[in-house]
Amino acid sequence: MILKARIEIRLRAGILDPQGKAIGGALHGLGFESLGEVRQGKLIEIDLPHATDKAAAEKEVAAMCKTLLANPVTEDFRVELTD
């Protein structure tokens, strides 16, 4: 069994999102007019072939996010582990 981590990283509420604004403007320009606010984020998927304990793996992935993958000042992250 190989565990896989799926990490969603998003800007915190209240942080300006110029890329989301640009995406929203482009969609509006293409005729998609029923849009509200558009926000963008990142998705990172990591295979954990040596992980044997789901709780320990989740803790390790959270540490990865806090030290490298997400900016703790401006971003929030969510980790989902699957088999």
Kindly report, residue by residue over 60-76, the tens digit of the pLDDT.
Answer: 999 999 999 999 999 99
Strand order in the sheet with 75-82: 41-48, 3-11, 75-82
Question: Is a pLDDT exceeding 80 seen at residue 83?
Answer: yes
Q: How far apart are CA 69 and CA 77, in angstroms?
A: 9
Total domains present in the chain: 1
pLDDT at site 15: 96
Question: Is a pLDDT exceeding 80 seen at residue 18?
Answer: yes
Are the beta carbons of 6 and 83 closer than 8 angstroms? no
Average per-residue pLDDT for the chain = 95
What predicted TM-score, i.e. pTM, was given to this entire model? 0.86
Which residue range is the domain that position 40 belongs to? 3-82
Cβ neighbors of 6 (< 8 A, separation 6 or more) are 43, 44, 45, 79, 80, 81, 82
Output the domain CATH number for residue 22: 3.30.1280.10
